[in-house]
Structure 1
Amino acid sequence: MPNIKVLIADDNSFIREGMKIILTTFEGFEVVATVQNGLEAVSYCERHEVDVALLDVRMPEMNGVEATRLIAERTAARPLILTTFDDDEYIRDAITYGAKGYLLKNNDPERICDAIRTVYHGHNVLQDSVLDKLKSEVPGGTRHPVIDKNLFTERELDIMALIAKGKTNKEISKQIFISEGTIANHITSILSKTGLTHRTQIAIYYLTGELT
């Protein structure tokens, strides 16, 4: 299996080089570049093969959220936010623009590596504390979502609730006793009804009632 090609974008050279050292100690990763701002990240991803772009949020020249938008639009690289900032605006904008995950830097190296692998394999990652932050915006948490329930079937609402809890399709399948293929069909229907593009956006919509 080929190594996952990772770009690291962070304006702090200590973090940038430290993350490079960490990733190279784990099997299956190749750090193809380290850059200090979003503009350089976009430029590199446009000119080279990158599997996952690991992006800080606050950077000079171009921040990680804007870099996420351009990388998602122009390249095949999958953006993954790795930052110390969990501001609501950053989370929503990054996910809206195509970030495949939002992770905080206080995670241990194994968790960060797992997140990169998850994103590489086409799935999304949203840290529990980030989900909790979104839940706190809704009175009663997930018990009283403010979405328009009339848009969805009862089964779709069940699946959305479980997605909002961070469950995978396999976990949802075991819990509600339907096949993963049927769950995928329901998710496709939910995305079609809402105009959203991936399951992390479904989670945010279910928790907040806002289409990101």
Structure 2
Amino acid sequence: MRHPPSRCEVARIGEDPDAFEAFYREHIEAVLRYVTRRSRDAHTAADLVAEVFLAAISAADGYREELGSPLAWLYGIARNVTAAENRRAARAWTAESRVRGRRLLDGDDIARIEERIDAERDSSALLAHIAALPANQRAVLELIAVDGLTVTEAAGVLGVSQVTARVRLHRARRTVQNTLEHAAPASAPPRSSFMEVR
């Protein structure tokens, strides 16, 4: 699904609270979907969403429209934020890091985010096959098939050429298709939009 163009100027979100509020409301659902698919729990997801928008405020004056849509730009920030969190967690998964930010959430917030995480995890059996792909192929497939970016926008998020992104996408789709064709009929998910060319 393609997202509508931004209704506010990205460059203004760092200085204008109204512009930031409009930007946040327009993109929060997409950022939340992106982050929850890559989070271990509701508290981490909430922290990462906040970090993405804080980073966007700091980087707003560097946004360049010719490099992609505001949403593609946000996905690039979200990718960096989640990668940094994964590196931090790999170095030290301590009790302090697990409870960071919990007091900022009430029971309804936690339940809503946990439901979102469960829904994203259970949305398609196809995700299990995609998880087995090499990281660079999986990244481009997710950005295009799940997050709705074009090949050009995904290439920008990943910092690779469009040709490289297309090659990785082709290989990822071919690998997933071969896996589905060899899976047992009872466990194989139906062909989905993951396999459609954009």
TM-score w.r.t. the length of structure 2 is 0.32
- When you count helix as a share of all residues, which structure comes out higher? 2
TM-score w.r.t. the length of structure 1 is 0.30
